[in-house]
Amino acid sequence: MQNPELLTGQVLLTHANPFDAPATEALTVERRGAVLIDGGRIVATGTAEALRKENPQAKTTDYGDALILPGFIDAHVHYPQTGIIASWGKRLIDWLNSYTFPEEMRFGDAAYAQGVADRYLDLTLANGTTTVCSYCTIHPQSVDAFFSAAIARGLRAYAGKTCMDRNAPDGLRDSPQSAYDDSKALLERWHGQDRLEYVITPRFSPTSTPDQLNALGALWAEHPDCLMQTHLSEQVDEIAWVRGLFPNARDYLDTYETHGLLGARGLYGHAIHLEAREKDRLREIGAGLVHCPTSNTFIGSGLFDMAGLMAAGQPIGLATDTGGGSSFSMLRTMAAAYEIGQLRGTPLHPAQLLWLATAGSAQVLHASNKIGRIAPGYEADLCILDLASTPAIAQRATRAKDIWEQVFPTIMMGDDRAIMAVYAGGKKQIGT
């Protein structure tokens, strides 16, 4: 071993999908546990007592009653929307035109893009998030800025150039050929470097011509190990717009399917208003859906059917959708997912919420063997959660009868004050 480090505290262990197995068996907590890390990876987990004895040479940090869990994984974000988060009063299409597109226009300036990328990753790290999957803007320099910022912080990160060749303002459109060429060049520059992965990124069907969708479908076919991300069935008006733009399509998903943009490595954000054929097809393919609860309530999109889709075996991850989403925090995002579950009559267990924000998102990113769990061999991306970070949370948590009742107040009421420390690739990025 090179430089072993032992972190002790309450350790969250993930054994199975808590939507398939009883939630409290799928995830368990070692009350006096420890995680041994070395060379950027998790080497062992166990009781603090045993691992201390076996590794007397390891530098030990005791986090007491805090919960050591995998760093949060935010499977759908728009880092360029950092500066316009919490913009008032519009629904999707007006929100894009009024707030999003004018801001994204500014990312042609590489220095501006770098400033926002740095600020964004500082904010997400402070909130316990160690991996995000981000849309950039149409400008290649917005991708360079994001990946440079991720490398500087030692993060596993996913991102791609957003492609749009219609229904976007002047200065924010590419073409089928330039989208293909720029995406390919960025993919060749960044994909596989360090812990970075390039994601092919058509924004959504309304802002791409069939020619552009075809070009990106062809690029994906040439690079089948890449992920592809887009938006699907977020708002009713958007679906009607898609129907008008693609009169021959069977449904919204078909606009991707017929252009080579439906696959197991596809990530489809929102997916609220799905038709039966779309649900069947997504499940059959094993594509990933990404639930963005604070965005869905903030932009007024609707209530995602987590329970129904999970019961059918659909892979689903969790995300902020910053800045349509109203938070950088995956704690706040889990709280919103809980509230949407309540409105549908299907409350999610705290173990299910924590799973979605870690292993669930890892699964849709096809990184289940690398991140999202605390287990030997996994990358040492960890978040240490203070379960009594404010007086309001502390007074509730002290009454808890078990760990799930102890952690739930932090899920519902916690923010960046609950984040005691964050490790990325074994290096402490947040905390003293």
CA distances from 105 to 109, 140, 185, 408 (A): 9, 12, 21, 40
Radius of gyration (Cα) for the chain, nearest Å? 21
Q: Record the tokens describing residue 83, joined without a space.
A: 């500066």
* Binding status of residue 204 toward ligand GUN by CB under 6 A: yes
* Binding status of residue 234 toward ligand GUN by CB under 6 A: yes
Smallest distance, Å, CB 151 to ligand GUN?
25
Distant-in-sequence contacts of 175-183, Cβ < 8 A, 24+ apart = 175/212, 176/209, 176/211, 176/212, 176/214, 176/215, 177/215, 179/212, 179/215, 179/216, 180/215, 180/216, 180/218, 180/219, 182/140, 183/216, 183/219
Residues in 68-87 that interact with ligand GUN by CB under 6 A: 78
* Binding status of residue 333 toward ligand GUN by CB under 6 A: no
Which partner, Zn ion, ligand GUN, none, binds residue 158 by CB below 5 to 8 Å per kind? none
Closer CB to Zn ion, residue 33 or residue 325?
A: 325
Residues in 311-330 that interact with Zn ion by CB under 5 A: 321
* Binding status of residue 100 toward ligand GUN by CB under 6 A: yes
Smallest distance, Å, CB 115 to ligand GUN?
20
Q: Rounded to an integer, what distance in angstroms lies between the CA atom of residue 156 and that of residue 171?
A: 31
Closest alpha carbon to 223 in 263, 252, 193:
263
Q: Rounded to an integer, what distance in angstroms lies between the CA atom of residue 21 and that of residue 94?
A: 42
Give the count of beta carbons closer than 10 Å to the beta carbon of residue 377: 10
Closer CB to ligand GUN, residue 295 or residue 406?
A: 295
Smallest distance, Å, CB 288 to ligand GUN?
17
346: three-class secondary structure by DSSP: coil
Q: Record the tokens describing residue 99, joined without a space.
A: 């707030």
Q: State the pairing for strand pair 227-232/129-135.
A: unpaired
* Binding status of residue 321 toward ligand GUN by CB under 6 A: yes
**425 phi and psi angles, rounded to 5 deg:** 55, 35
Contact 96, 135 (CB under 8 A): no
Which partner, ligand GUN, Zn ion, none, binds residue 204 by CB below 5 to 8 Å per kind? ligand GUN
- The residue nearest ligand GUN at its CB is 324
- Contact pick of 324, 372, 414, 426 for ligand GUN (by CB under 6 A): 324
Smallest distance, Å, CB 204 to Zn ion?
8
Please tell me the count of residues contacting Zn ion according to CB under 5 A. 2
Which partner, ligand GUN, Zn ion, none, binds residue 232 by CB below 5 to 8 Å per kind? none
Which partner, Zn ion, ligand GUN, none, binds residue 195 by CB below 5 to 8 Å per kind? none
- Per-residue x/- marks for Zn ion, 261-300, CB under 5 A? --------x-------------------------------
Closer CB to ligand GUN, residue 66 or residue 143?
A: 143
**159 phi and psi angles, rounded to 5 deg:** -165, 165
Stretch that binds ligand GUN, among 19-27, 92-100, 192-200, 239-247 (CB under 6 A): 92-100
Which partner, ligand GUN, Zn ion, none, binds residue 265 by CB below 5 to 8 Å per kind? none
Q: Rounded to an integer, what distance in angstroms lies between the CA atom of residue 378 and that of residue 309?
A: 28
Which partner, ligand GUN, Zn ion, none, binds residue 203 by CB below 5 to 8 Å per kind? ligand GUN
- The angle, 0 to 180 degrees and rounded to 10, between the axes of the packed helices 176-190 and 140-152 is 20
Which partner, Zn ion, ligand GUN, none, binds residue 30 by CB below 5 to 8 Å per kind? none
Closer CB to ligand GUN, residue 156 or residue 203?
A: 203
Distant-in-sequence contacts of 25-30, Cβ < 8 A, 24+ apart = 26/351, 26/355, 27/351, 27/354, 27/355, 29/67, 29/403
417: three-class secondary structure by DSSP: helix
Closer CB to Zn ion, residue 19 or residue 95?
A: 95
Give the footprint of Zn ion on this chain (CB under 5 A). 269, 321
Give the footprint of ligand GUN on this chain (CB under 6 A). 78, 92, 96, 100, 203-204, 231, 234, 295, 299, 321, 324
